[in-house]
Amino acid sequence: MNNKQLVINFYEDIFVEGNLAKISDYVADDYIQHNPRVTTGRIGFIKFIEEFIKLKPKIEFINVSCENNFVYVFFKCTLANGIINKVCDIYRVENSKLVEHWDVIEHNVGKIEAVHNNGIF
């Protein structure tokens, strides 16, 4: 399986299906986390995702791109409470495992009044 498909499967299994038993299939033990609100390591990701899936996120991929061992995921994330976030996750993959993560998030974009007609996605 290529790196792009690995990350797509990761989102489907973990974020969409909530199948936390599969986390070790995707995330390395020593996973490096760059989000300042999430503890580094697989255990840190597990703590994060256990809380995040309680928000019942709906993930809509806008684009998934891959270059070498980096996968870029741009998506719309709608939470059960109606908040819409615009997210770009970046993963570094080694040996078919996610080993490092960065993200850029615009929170609550559904409430932003645009100064153009281009759309936010």
pLDDT digits (tens, 9 = 90+) for 26-63: 999 999 999 999 999 999 999 999 999 999 999 999 99
Is residue 62 within 8 A of residue 74, CB to CB? The reply is yes
pTM: 0.93
CATH of the domain spanning 3-111? 3.10.450.50
Q: Which residues contact 27 (CB under 8 A, 6 or more apart)?
A: 10, 42, 45, 97, 98
Question: Is the confidence at residue 120, as pLDDT, over 90?
Answer: no
What are the residue boundaries of the structural domains of the chain, listed by start? 3-111
Contact predicate 94/68, CB 8 Å = no
pLDDT band at residue 114 under the 50/70/90 scheme: confident
Q: What's the whole-number mean pLDDT along residues 75-84?
A: 97
Is residue 1's pLDDT more than 90?
no
Segment 96-107 mean pLDDT = 97
pLDDT score of 28: 98
Instruction: State the pLDDT at residue 36.
Output: 94
